[in-house]
Amino acid sequence: MSAPLPPHLLGLNPEQELAVTTLDGPVLVLAGAGSGKTRVLTRRIAHLLYNGVPAENILAVTFTRKAAQEMKHRVTELVGPAAEQVWVSTFHATCCRILRTDIEALGFTRRFAIYDDDDQLRILREVLRENPESELTPSKVLARIDFWKNRGYDPDRVVAEHREPKHGGLIAAWRAYERGLRAADAVDFNDLIGHVVKMFQEHPAVLERWRERFQYVMVDEYQDTNGLQYKLLRLLAEPRRNLAVVGDDDQSIYAFRGADVTNILNFERDFPNARVIRMERNYRSTANVLAVANAVVRVNEKRIDKQLRTDAAPGKPVNLRVLPTEEDEAKWVADAIGVFQRRDRIPYGSMAIVYRTNATARLFEQALGRARVPYRVAGGKRLHERREVRDVLAWIRLAILPVDDAAFLRIVNVPPRGIGPSTLAALRDAGQAAGQPLLATARSYATRAGPSAAALKGFLTLVESIADVARTGTPAELVNAGLVRTGYRDMLERLAQEEEGARRGLRAPRSESRERLLHLGQLLSDAAVFRAPDAGSAIERTQAWLDQFGLAESEEVVPEGGAVTLLTVHNAKGLEYPVVFSVQLNEGQFPHARALEDADGLSEERRLAYVAFTRAMSRLVITRSATRASNEFAPAKQDDPDKPPGRAPDRTASAPSPFLFGLPLDAVEGDLPGMTPTTGAPGLAPLTVGSKVSHPKHGAGVVKKPRDPRGVIVLFKGRPRAVAREDLTLVPERR
């Protein structure tokens, strides 16, 4: 006789139930796409609570805020308000909260600023100004620093491990960058996690407190953890080993930011006696969709062998389409969406267009606009990435944290007040000599007579006045001050009127400045609705608002009646749609040309394709274009209504994506010849470093550099040669 099951255990399959109820000790859940991963995590939290684990001892970490919100929401549905006390948040937000409590142990103040890439570049530009001849560019250095920090390295470690002089300049720049951050009392994105790790390692008492707090740790999308996050989890979970991770190595698509699939592959080694639970039953897609998705990812070498199964019907075949140009492709998709909506009564909100790169969005936006199909672009430019928003926030930041040099540099002359490069250079030199932040330097400068003294004085008065508001005001009042007192709003207002005057009569949607004012309005309302966590000073409340705002992702406004969603594959992860259009399946687009440059790149692109395809529940449509514009960066060609829609002059043929080779033919339909060439050599097969190729004249060789101005660099008998890509045939790898 068994007691009735509590509601959170109802309706689970045996694997899911095991994953939910195995509470103690390390657990690895290998959860294929659509196998009920979120369900397992939320039920598991419910089960912990049900078993008397206090809510505040539970930590669930995700990668995106959307995932965190979704999880919290679903736990609340299961257990009610008790869910409030459970920490469900992203890695970055979790670490941010930890640092706001304890960062003083590392010599920062609790008011520390969080630098986004814009601020990071500002620091690096300062750093690199020292020797302008250097070949280092700020963005290259930043990419490299990011790369290392993601893996948990510091400059000393890189020097020790590489001991190659070629990194000399880079390392020096990195060290200077770190000094810059510290001087500005700022941390970058990676530091949020890195500093917590460092603090835990150096201050056992602090670590002990947080271990006591988080007795049960859960991690979503474990395959996407990087070296730093891995360290963090180990530190937190080590003594009790109550660590449950959920993931799918086939969906590891964040290698570029340090995600390390070996974390999931080695889990059993790292946590001996781990319970491994495989969830291979897919509840999302039709059998045909799964067959196609499986075919794409199956050929990857480094993967845990598995096969997603479903009891669902085969469903409609996966539809493959080739269109003459990218524009035709976009138009065809837009039309198909219209047909689905009218003929099959599929709501717009149930359809999504998934692409590899953000730049693709515009093309499809235009086509959808012409076809009058409502759409929304997910993960487009986020509010806090917009220049005007960052500007206003910089005023606030500087008012709160006077040492924040990046904020200072950002707004010292915005709106323009006559503080130009030469004044700045003087400030910089004086500041550096005195070891003082820029704002303080400006203060001593303004008292002296000089050409820009008056302008500086005006600026300083402004900062003071905003700082006054910061001491007592709400975030909204502060935003308002940053908007009004600084003259920022007036500046935009004036510009908007000019722009609108200039384009009177034209059928222009909205002037750019008007658009910016709108964004600032959104900023203001975000601040206005912000609910500060608990008491605390006005400044602490503002800080909390800044934190959540800075770590937030795009606010999505869904038009009434639903809208087609446009998103990148990365953004699509974790989501599902009844109808999915996976577009631009051309070599060089998807897989992206840049990804072919390193050996593992192609595997990751395959996983991306797998993610894209498995978003589809009942219908998957895959499209590509037979030609592409040769110059992708040329301005878009204007459609001239008088001329027939002639082909743009410079187009080149494009090869189908290699992911389309070897699809199961009984699961697909459509333009098979253009999509899955079954005869002859597979066109221009993708070349990656290490690909084996053969050449009519030089014979067998190994690719050294697939993309080079001179052609493809291939090693023939150990000698590098540049050869034309067309002459190469790919020697198939053993399967």
Partner DNA sequence: TCTCGATCCATTTTT
Partner DNA sequence: TGGATCGAGA
Catalytic residue list contains 606: no
Q: Phi then psi for 702, rounded to 5 degrees?
A: -125, 135
Among 134, 300, 357, 694, the residue binding DNA under the rule CB under 7 A is 357
Does position 682 interact with DNA (CB under 7 A)? The reply is: no
- Which CB atom, from 91 or from 364, has the smaller least distance to DNA? 91
Query: Which residue in 102, 185, 221, 365 is the catalytic one?
Result: 221
| Contact mark string toward DNA, 229..258, x via CB under 7 A | ------------------------x--xx-
Q: Binding to DNA by residue 359, rule CB under 7 A?
A: yes
Positive or negative: CA dihedral 281, 286, 287, 288:
negative
Indicate if 223 belongs to the active site: no
Is-contact 246 220, C-beta < 8 A?
yes
Give the torsion through C-alpha atoms of 562, 566, 570, 572, to 10 deg. 30
Amino acid at 35: S
Does residue 419 belong to the site contacting DNA (CB under 7 A)?
Answer: yes
Q: Please, what is the minimum distance in Å from the beta carbon of residue 90 to DNA?
A: 4
Nearest distance in Å: CB 13, DNA: 30
Among 110, 370, 471, 594, binds DNA (CB under 7 A): 594
Fill in the per-residue mask, 548 to 567: x = in contact with DNA (CB under 7 A), - = not in contact.
---x-x--------------
Residue 713's CB: how many other CB atoms inside 10 A? Answer: 17
Among 451, 664, 673, 720, binds DNA (CB under 7 A): 451
> Prior bond to 415 cis, omega within 30?
yes
Is 436 annotated as catalytic? no
What amino acid occupies position 12? L
Neighbour order of strands in the sheet with 58-62: 87-90, 58-62, 216-219, 243-247, 27-31, 275-279
Closer CB to DNA, residue 383 or residue 667?
A: 383
- Closest among 48, 36, 607 to 278, alpha carbons compared: 36
Q: Is the dihedral of CA 725, 728, 731, 732 positive or negative?
A: positive
Quick note: the x/- pattern for DNA over 363-382, rule CB under 7 A, is ----------------x--x
Query: What whole-number distance in Å separates Cα of residue 64 and Cα of residue 243?
Result: 20
Residue 223 contacts DNA per CB under 7 A? no
Q: For strand 186-188 and strand 711-716, is the pairing parallel, antiparallel, or unpaired? A: unpaired
Nearest to 695, CA basis, from 733, 732, 726, 658: 726
DSSP 666: G
Give the DSSP H or E segment for 670.
strand 668-670
Minimum CB separation of residue 97 from DNA in Å reads 13
Active site residue 38: yes
Strand partners, 729: 694
How many other C-beta atoms lie within 10 A of the C-beta of residue 62?
Answer: 26
Catalytic residue among 220, 224, 248, 404, which?
220
Q: Which of residues 632-651 bind DNA (CB under 7 A)?
A: 632-636
Cβ nearer to DNA, comparing 317 with 588: 588
Q: Which is nearer to DNA, 291 or 378 (CB)?
A: 378
Residues in the chain, total: 735
DSSP 25: S
* Least distance (Å) between residue 189 CB and DNA: 5
Give me the least distance between CB of 88 and DNA, in Å please. Answer: 13
Segment interacting with DNA, rule: CB under 7 A, options 162-170, 306-314, 578-586, 626-634: 626-634
**Site for DNA (CB under 7 A): which residue of 38, 413, 432, 694?**
413
The residue among 202 and 498 lying less far from DNA, judged by its C-beta, is 498
With binding defined as CB under 7 A, does residue 625 bind DNA? no
Using rule CB under 7 A, residue 422 touches DNA: yes
Tell me if residue 102 falls in helix, strand or coil: helix
- Residue whose C-alpha is closest to residue 693's, from 653, 659, 663, 724: 724
Residue 503 binds to DNA (criterion: CB under 7 A) = no
Which parts of 115-154 interact with DNA (CB under 7 A)?
117, 121, 139
Q: Does 362 bind DNA (CB under 7 A)?
A: yes
CA atoms within 13 Å, Cβ hemisphere of 487:
14
Binding to DNA by CB under 7 A, coded x per residue (else -) over 458-497, reads: ----------------------------------------
416 touching DNA, by CB under 7 A: yes
Query: Among this protein's residues, is 526 annotated catalytic?
Result: no
Does 615 participate in catalysis according to the annotation? yes
702/705 Cα distance (integer angstroms): 9
The one-letter code for the residue type at 446 is A
Spatial contact of 554 and 340, defined as CB atoms under 8 Å apart: no
What's the rounded Cα separation, in Å, for the pair 353 and 336?
A: 12
Quick one: which segment of 334-342, 413-421, 650-658, 666-674 binds DNA (CB under 7 A)? 413-421
Residue ranges with strand state E in 143-254: 186-188, 216-219, 243-247
358 binds DNA (CB under 7 A): yes
Residues between 59 and 88 with contacts to DNA, criterion CB under 7 A? 63-65
The two tokens of residue 667 are 């699961």
Residues that bind DNA (rule: CB under 7 A) add up to a total of 47
Indicate the residue among 157 and 594 with the shorter CB distance to DNA.
594
Binding residue for DNA, selected from 215, 288, 341, 423, defined by CB under 7 A:
423
Q: Residue 17 and residue 282: Cα distance in Å, rounded? A: 15
The encoded tokens of residue 320 equal: 């493959």
Which residues contact DNA by CB under 7 A? 63-65, 90-93, 117, 121, 139, 189, 253, 256-257, 356-359, 362, 379, 382, 387, 413, 416-423, 451-452, 551, 553, 568, 570-571, 592, 594-595, 597, 632-636
Active-site residue set:
37-38, 220-221, 251, 615
